[in-house]
C-alpha cells in the first residue's frame, strides 16, 4: 500500500513539473516575440493547460515571465560553465564565453530573443553571462591580465551593452557572418580590458568547442 501511495505521489509531482515547464516554455515564446502583455488565458492555451491550473504554479503573469527569464539565463550560464570548465586564463575564459554567446544568437535564436527582450534585466541578473563576466573581469584584474580595468562594474556595463547590441544586429542582419562579427567585437573588448592587440587577435582565433554537441536536442533547427 505505501508503494502505491508513493507511486501516485511521484506521478502527481511529475505532472506538476510538466505543467510548470509547459507554462515556462509558453512564456518564453511570448518573451521571444516581445509580447510582454499576453493575457494569462493566451499563455495557458499556448501551454495547453487549464486557466485555473496557472494559479497552482504562479501568482501572476509577471512572476511567470520573471521565472521564464531566469530559466533562460540559467541555461545560458550552465552552458558557458560546462564549455569553459577546463580553462584557467581569465582572458581566454572571457573571450570564449563572449564568442560562444555571439554564436548562440544564431544557433539558438529563441533563447537569444528571450535574453534580448529581457533588456536591462540581463545586465542586472545574478544568473547567466553577467555574473560570470564580472567574475572573470575581477580574476583578470587580480592576475594582471586586465590591467586597463579600473572599475569592473563599468567594464561589465560596456560588455553587457555589447552583448545586447550584437545580438540585435545579428537578428536584424541575417546575412552578416555571426562568427566573424562576434570575434571582432571580442578582440576589441580584450584590448579595452588591457590585452595587447596581437594577443587579443590570437586568443580570438583559437578554435571553439562544437556548440551543437552541448546544445543537444535543445539546439535550434
DSSP the chain: -HHHHHHHHHHHHHHHHHHHHHHHHHHHHHHHTT-TT--HHHHHHHHT--HHHHTTT-S-HHHHHHHHHHHHHHHHHHHHHHHTTT---HHHHHHHHHHHHHHHHHHSHHHHHHHHHTTTHHHH-SSSHHHHHHHHHHHHHHHTTTTT-S-HHHHHHHHHHHHHHHHHHHHH-TTS-HHHHHHHHHHHHHHHHT--HHHHHHHHTS----HHHHHGGGS--
- Structural domains present in the chain: 1-58 (1.10.10.60), 66-218 (1.10.357.10)
Q: What is the pLDDT of residues 103-119, one digit of tens each?
A: 988 888 877 887 787 76
- The answer, yes or no, to whether residue 1 has pLDDT greater than 60, is no
Mean pLDDT computed over every residue of the chain: 86
- pLDDT tens per residue, range 29-73: 888 887 888 999 999 999 999 888 999 999 999 999 888 888 877
Amino acid at each position: 500500500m505505501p508503494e502505491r501511495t508513493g507511486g501516485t505521489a511521484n506521478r502527481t509531482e511529475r505532472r506538476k513539473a510538466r505543467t510548470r515547464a509547459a507554462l515556462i516554455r509558453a512564456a518564453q515564446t511570448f518573451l521571444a516575440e516581445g509580447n510582454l502583455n499576453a493575457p494569462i488565458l493566451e499563455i495557458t492555451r499556448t501551454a495547453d493547460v487549464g486557466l485555473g491550473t496557472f494559479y497552482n504554479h504562479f501568482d501572476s503573469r509577471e512572476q511567470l515571465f520573471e521565472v521564464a527569464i531566469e530559466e533562460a539565463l540559467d541555461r545560458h550560464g550552465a552552458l558557458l560553465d560546462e564549455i569553459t570548465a577546463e580553462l584557467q586564463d581569465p582572458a581566454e575564459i572571457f573571450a570564449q564565453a563572449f564568442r560562444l554567446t555571439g554564436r548562440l544568437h544564431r544557433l539558438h535564436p529563441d533563447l537569444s530573443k528571450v535574453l534580448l527582450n529581457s533588456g536591462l534585466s540581463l545586465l542586472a541578473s545574478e544568473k547567466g553571462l553577467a555574473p560570470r563576466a564580472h567574475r572573470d573581469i575581477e580574476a583578470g584584474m587580480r592576475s594582471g591580465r586586465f590591467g586597463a580595468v579600473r572599475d569592473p562594474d563599468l567594464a561589465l556595463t560596456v560588455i553587457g551593452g555589447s552583448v545586447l547590441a550584437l545580438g540585435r544586429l545579428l537578428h536584424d542582419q541575417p546575412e552578416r557572418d555571426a562568427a566573424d562579427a562576434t570575434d571582432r567585437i571580442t578582440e576589441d573588448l580584450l584590448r579595452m580590458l588591457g590585452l595587447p592587440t596581437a594577443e587579443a587577435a590570437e586568443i580570438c582565433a583559437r578554435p571553439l568547442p562544437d556548440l551543437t554537441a552541448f546544445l543537444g536536442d535543445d539546439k535550434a533547427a
